[in-house]
A and B are shown apart, each in its own frame.
Chain A
Amino acid sequence: MSKNKIRAEIVDKLKKLGEQLEKEIQKNKDPEFKMPIRTLSNAYFDDKDKLIRLGDKVQTRNFFNVGQSRKFMQTALIAAQIKELLEQDKPSISTRQLYYILKRTIEGLKENTFEEQTESDPIIEDLEVSIDALREDLGLEPTPDGVFSGPIKYTDLKTGDEIDCSKMGTAGAAIPANTEPGVVEFGKCTAKYVLVVEKFAVWSILNQLKYWKTNNCIVITGKGQAGRSTRRLVARLNKELKLPVYIFADFDPYGYYIYSVYKQGSINLAFFSEKAGCPEAKYIGLKYDDVKQFKIPKSNFIRLTDQDMKRLKEIKNYEWFKKKEWQDEIKKAMDFGYKIESDALVSKTIEFMADTYLPKVIKDKDWLD
């Protein structure tokens, strides 16, 4: 679907939403927004597609309800603003900029339409779900946070520039805020797989050692919990270019969860999973068995905190971690009582990760699925 057509369709959806509200208002009814609930209670693991999806529980947001009227007003304001921006074909703006556009003092009150960006951000997500359109298509850009490098070229359709990701120096190629097909068009790619690393520091070493050249792959980091555009990029590389995806994260509950978000999506953005999920991604490490196999020195162990243990228990209960290999892994991690950061491998040698560890686990298919 062309960019313009998508835009026209969303404008139309927003207009219909407005007409519905107006009808209710003129009939002196309590106007309401309907939207799927975006919490764990309404998220489920789709076993067939291996993705976290939203269920069909719907919540209503009413104007004539003391606890909801402010949010109702904010939702209406954001919807109207998005529509106005799309109608004018303006450049995409960040969610922070949208917040600034709409923040003002309400007449006759000592309060603002929005006090914090934390008020507007979740409402944007509510709208995405309720009119079934991605934020990127609404003309809103998430803050880009990822970098990548490797033997792949792409064209930025907004500017027309062609970018060669093998020639981006030590900084690598920044992942655009919008990685949808309307903006990022893949060009020539000779990579055989995608290596996603949790940490920027790890990515930086691999990039400097030109791991991607030696191993003919793309190396990406989302700098911790990945943002939307990074996840979308990984998913597109997997789906459109059929590249296998390997994930290298810390040996701790957060590393596990970061992996699962790339793979199945997150609860909060479950509606986004279909587009950003990557069910075939593998977890190559760090994992419990690596400790013995690679003789990771005890000095690199960090004791698990109570918080870590709690998080491990939660993860163990998630539907999408119910596979035996994961249940075993988590149990071993809990018995072990320590966590290890992926950076720690440099304590052997700086090159150990690039020369020994990563090629070996990938070659041996030594991963968790």
Chain B
Amino acid sequence: MADENHKQVSVAEFFEKNRHLLGFNNPSKALLTSVKEAVDNSLDACEDANILPEIEVKIQELKRGKYRMIVEDNGPGLNRKVLEKAFGSLLFGSKFRSIGGKQGRGQQGIGISAVILYGQLTTGKPAKITSRTSKEKEAREYTMHIDVKTNEPDVIASDVKNWKKEHGTRVEVEMEGKYVSTRQSPYEFIKQTAVVNPHAQLTYTDPEGKKHKFPRVVDKLPRKAKEVKPHPSGVEFGLFKRMSKDTSARSTKSFLTNDFDKVGSGTANNILETAKVEGQILPKLLSDDQLYEIHEAIKTTKIMNPSTDCLSPIGAEALAKSLESEYDLEFTKAISRNPTVYRGFPFQVEVAIGYGGELDQEGSAKLNRFSNKVPLLYEEGSCALTKGVKSITWKSYGLHNSSGSMPTGPAVIVIHIASTWVPFTSESKAAVSNYPAISKEIKLAIQEAGRSLQIYVRKKRKTGLEEEKRKKFKGYASEVAGAVAKLIANDSYKIKKDDLEKSVAKIEKSLLKTAETMYLSGKELDEVEEKDE
């Protein structure tokens, strides 16, 4: 699908001009984007081949602001032809698929080839890709770069490699970068990726050589997203027009029924009737006015919601398990909402809340945002997922926030939106747009999980109070014992310290014993205030 227009522009020039849009605007972001592209690629490859992913990421610091990134997976591997295309030509692959389709990580980025190009532009060095497709085949390492004039892969060397893996792919790219250890670090990205991909086993070795393991939590691949046709209500006019020219359908009616989701004969008739267009017309011959009328008619015609089996949610149970394995938590609750639709696109919201444990008692709760199982690390403030969290009155759900701000308290909140078309606010694809239908789902999901959290927090607070009560009785008991010992003594001011202490200890012991039997018998020390008038 590498299209004609792009070939005419120098790829390098195109890339340079659009770096900011593509996630390579500065060295630290570039490094992160590279990791992200490579990991997404590996996860997609494994899942497509029904393989439980095992991915190893390494970042090594080289001299003068240069880094080496190595990402290795146990995917199906690629033969030379496919590999050359996938890694060696920009804008290749399923990244720029048309509307509809299925949920995939791919939508989220520019593709692994851009990483290779970036490395090549900033270091002048080729990338090394190793791949093996089966035990019977040998592993090969291709040293390659991209011919920036032709946008064609250029394999400099192809060597047989001795590789332990039976199948898989390994990418090694050197590039200019900057390593940060903030919220937007490769480490954070991988940790978060592990949370939403509980079926994946991730290993990360940071520039200091420290190895972080994120083990697999569930041994089952997520439900595979099915490819579906675009739902008519999600198709913009421009695309609609293009589809009418490209279709193989012989009539306008069959164009509607064949090329779109949920349009049967009846629905097609309704649309055509409203648009006042004959169903027999060859789609290519439809005038712009007619196309416009049909497109308008789609908006007013009742059409079934899109199929939702094109979505691949994480699932509440897996999400909860995964969150628990990444954080040391006291409480976890995950909610997977049913799929629903915005503007004709199916989507599904999943929320998990983790509470207590290692999390910071004070300060803001952590928010981890995901779209199609990929962490969103930038532009938190403008994201609908963030706005959803802020719109909640957290006091009702066990945390606190002043209106319109992030809650504070020991909590981590995970929000995942899965969709065939996640609406991003911009090309950098880091923040989700604020569609009412999406916002509503986010809010409902948070509230549902929040209710469980509140029950937990309330119970915990009560237990804390019980503990506090016991402590109080203990403190009071020692004072009372001291006083009673003095009351029963003759000339209490003369009594020897030892004798007094013995007497106090005896009384205190009895009081505490009584207290203990009362707790045990559940005859809970009633709370009756003295009457005052």
With an 8 A cutoff between CB atoms, is A64 at the interface? yes
Knowing A30-B514, A64-B515, the reply to whether A107 touches B475 (Cβ < 8 A) is yes
Instruction: Choose among B477, B487, B493, B517 the residue that contacts A28 (Cβ–Cβ < 8 A).
Output: B517
Which A residues, 181 to 213, have Cβ-Cβ distances below 8 Å to chain B?
A: none
Q: Which of A22, A66, A88 contacts B526 (CB 8 A)?
A: A66
Please, what's the 1-or-0 string for A5-49, where 1 marks a CB less than 8 Å from any CB in chain B? 000000000110111011001101111000001011100000000
**What's the Cα separation between A271 and B34 when bound, in Å?**
87
B510 and A28 contacting across the interface, CB-CB below 8 Å:
yes
Indicate which residue in A18, A68, A70 contacts B487 across the interface (CB closer than 8 Å): A18
Known: A66-B525, A88-B493. A108 touches B474 (CB 8 A): yes
Q: Is B532 an interface residue (CB 8 A)?
A: yes
| Pair B525/A64 contact, Cβ less than 8 Å | yes
Q: Is A304 an interface residue (CB 8 A)?
A: no
In whole angstroms, what is the CA distance A14 to B527 when docked? 28
CB distance from A4 to the nearest CB of B (A): 15
Q: Is B507 an interface residue (CB 8 A)?
A: yes
Cβ of A31: which chain B residues have Cβ within 8 Å of it?
480
Contact A65 B526, beta carbon cutoff 8 Å: yes
- Chain A 39-97 interface residues, beta-carbon cutoff 8 Å to B: 39-41, 59, 61, 63-73, 76-77, 79-80, 83-84, 87-88
Number of interface residues of A (CB under 8 A): 44
Q: Taking the nearest CB of chain B, how far is it from the CB of A111, in angstroms?
A: 8
Least CB separation from A25: chain B residue: B510
Whether A1 sits at the interface, judged by CB under 8 Å, is: no
Does any Cβ of B come within 8 Å of A238's Cβ?
no
Contact flags A242-263 to B (C-beta < 8 A → 1, else 0): 0000000000000000000000
Known contacts A29-B514, A108-B471, A109-B472: A83-B530 contact under CB 8 Å = no
Q: Which of A19, A22, A25, A69 contacts B473 (CB 8 A)?
A: A69
Contact across chains for B479 and A76 when beta carbons are under 8 A apart:
yes
Q: Bound state CA distance, A40 and B533, in angstroms?
A: 7
Contact A71 B474 (CB under 8 A): no
A7 to chain B, nearest CB (A): 13
* CB of B506, distance to nearest CB on chain A (Å): 8
B residues near A101, Cβ cutoff 8 Å: none
Cβ proximity bits B20-31 to A, threshold 8 Å, 1 near / 0 not: 000000000000
Tell me the smallest distance from the CB of B204 to a CB of chain A, in Å: 44
Interface residues of B (CB under 8 A from A): 469, 471-480, 482-484, 486-488, 490-493, 507, 510-511, 513-515, 517-518, 525-533
Apart from A25-B511, A67-B529, A76-B487, what 6 extra A-B contacts exist at CB < 8 Å? A15-B490, A22-B487, A37-B531, A63-B511, A64-B515, A69-B472
A-B pairs with lowest CB-CB distance, top 7: A18-B487, A76-B483, A80-B483, A39-B533, A80-B486, A109-B475, A67-B529
List the interface of chain A (C-beta within 8 A of B): 14-15, 17-19, 21-22, 25-26, 28-31, 37, 39-41, 59, 61, 63-73, 76-77, 79-80, 83-84, 87-88, 106-109, 111, 113
